């Protein structure tokens, strides 16, 4: 999958899953936000936060 398409798709999934009424930190989440966080995770070697986010999103999406 092309990197740009991947970033767009993942950002949309995160935004749609974590959107809240009114102001919320993920209501305007976009490709740039996703890519910035992914690059930061790669640079710092922080894969544990990625696994935690993935698990949380799984619960939010599939347990609702």
Task: Encode pLDDT of 2-60 as tens digits.
Answer: 878 888 888 898 899 888 899 888 889 899 988 888 888 778 877 666 665 555 555 44
Give this prediction's pTM. 0.61
Residues near 30 by beta carbon (within 8 Å), at least 6 away in sequence: 11, 15
Q: Tokens representing 29?
A: 């989440």
Q: Tokens representing 50?
A: 């990625």
Q: Tokens representing 40?
A: 């930061």
């Amino acid at each position: 999958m092309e990197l740009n398409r991947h970033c767009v798709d993942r950002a949309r999934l995160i935004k749609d899953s974590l959107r809240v009424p009114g102001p919320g930190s993920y209501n305007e989440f976009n490709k740039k936000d996703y890519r910035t966080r992914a690059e930061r995770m790669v640079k710092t070697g922080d894969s544990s936060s990625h696994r935690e986010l993935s698990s949380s999103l799984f619960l939010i999406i599939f347990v609702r």
